[in-house]
Chain A
Amino acid sequence: MKLTVTTIFAAVLMILGSNVNAQVTCDSVSGIASSYLNEGTENSIFISDGQVYRAFLSDDESAEFNTTFFGGSTYRIAVSAGKRKDYVIFEIRDEQDIVLFTNADQANAPYWDFKVTSTMECKIHTQLDPNKKASGCVIMLIGFEKQM
């Protein structure tokens, strides 16, 4: 009986231990994504929309984020899944499911800017590049541009 209780307790502890590690990992990935939000800007800043979009992905899983881009605005999308800049592939589709952009065509760039002519509904698909990372926490941030 004692052995059973101890075994269950040990298993719970193992899960808790892994959870702490995974959470810390997501937080550190979030910090890396934040650093991309204003990389390479000169006369403007990108202000975060105040939300952190996260998903834990493995294998060929992808996460879908729905968003509205307002016309006349410029947005930056920053993604990260770790130290290397090219872990994450993201693509943006319009409401007709037409691909407007994929960073796979840009060496998996970790951030990209989008100037929006007219307000539009978009879906952003993110996934890990299977050749570079098998699974992990993926963070996406959206910032809008303000001229300085």
Chain B
Amino acid sequence: MSVFFYYLHGIITANNRAFMNYNFKHLILGAIAATTILVGCTDPTPDGNDPNGKVKIPKNIVNDGKTFDVNGQIFSIPSPVQTAMLIKDSGADFDETYLNPKDNADGYSTMFSKAMNLGVYGADLGYCTIYENNNASLAYLTSVRTLASEVGVENAFNESLIERFSANSTNQDSMLVFISEAYQSADNYLKTNDKSDAAGLILAGGWVEALHFSCRVASDGNEALKARIGEQKSTLKSLIGLLNSLESTGDDFEEFVYAMEDLYGAFDQVSSSYKYVEPQTYADKKLTIFNSTNDVEISDDILAEIASQVSELRDLITQ
């Protein structure tokens, strides 16, 4: 609407004296444009289209580039919250030394470091919440808000979220849902506002932090997490493809991508063997069980190499 008024104001200002004699064709075109804008700004029906579901919107209206589309494929990166859940399920204890100190949030000056560490702190927040360390969760939520504001997604992490989070501080499930919804809202906002680069960096930061947790726990002798680390090989490949598709520039970004590519060199030594087994579907439960097997092998030497590189990679982001 504001565009239309700006346009109308321009016509009136430029043609103030002769406005009444303004070319009729111009007014017709202006009317068409106004109608288009007004229609475009009307609240949509719940499905946003006509009741028959038959719509024809030009392909270029919604830009496919707003997704992480690399060579026609869109990549999904596992949630750091899920990784934290898997770590807890493996029997590992909470360890605050794994986390990026919350006060570091004030020291990040570039958009690269802010977006990456928004992802890092999201993983830290998820880790604290999974382990029901409520004081730490609230403290890390403050750090998340600081960076969210600077990345331009403060609406996803607003005062209401803090209030709901605090009011449900004894309900871990609600807190996890709030965190995930906030990050989902931020992701959606960034992708629909041509800021996919920031969305991609947040994802990458969260993934590195979650992998850092896994490496620290596995290095302490937790065998269950070794295979979990090896299973990240494909995700790393996807992330590198995603990063290379972004328009981000700068020495810090390039250094990070090179380090991720080096890390893939270490992951490339992880072997796996997949075997298809027919799935079972239970329609009444809306459930399908995937029975295929996939054995991942990762030696202690490779694990040590990966853990060392992840540590350096994380330092690159957080320091």
- Chain A contacts to B: CB under 8 angstroms: 2-3, 6-7, 9-10, 13-30, 32, 34, 40, 45, 47-56, 58, 63-73, 81-84, 87, 94-96, 98, 100-101, 105-106, 109, 111-121, 123, 132-137, 141-142, 144, 146, 148
Contact = CB atoms under 8 A, between A and B. Distances in A.
Nearest to A62: B72
B286 A21 contact: no
A29 B44 CA distance: 11
Contacts of B191: 52, 54
Interface residues of B, number: 89
Contacts of B59: 56, 58
Given A22-B62, A69-B290, A82 B48 contact: yes
Contacts of A121: 234, 274
Contacts of A132: 53
A24 B45 CA distance: 10
Given A6-B30, A17-B39, A51-B76, A23 B7 contact: no
Contacts of A26: 48, 62, 192
A6 B47 CA distance: 34
A78 B172 CA distance: 23
A49 to B, nearest CB: 4
A98 B184 contact: no
Interface of B: 3-4, 7, 23, 25-26, 29-30, 32-33, 36-49, 53-59, 61-64, 66-67, 72-79, 81-82, 85-86, 89, 122, 173, 176-177, 180-181, 183-184, 187-188, 191-192, 203, 206, 227-228, 231-232, 234-235, 238, 274, 276-277, 279, 281, 283, 285-296
A71 to B, nearest CB: 7
Contacts of B44: 21, 24-25, 28
Contacts of B25: 3, 6
A82 B33 CA distance: 27
Nearest to A80: B47
A2 B27 CA distance: 12
A94 B292 CA distance: 9
B48 A49 contact: no
B295 to A, nearest CB: 8
A77 to B, nearest CB: 10
A68 to B, nearest CB: 5
Contacts of B292: 94, 100, 117-118, 120
A111 B203 CA distance: 24
A10 B76 contact: no
A7 B23 CA distance: 13
A101 B279 contact: yes
3 A-B pairs with the lowest CB-CB distances in the bound complex, closest first: A17-B40, A82-B47, A25-B48
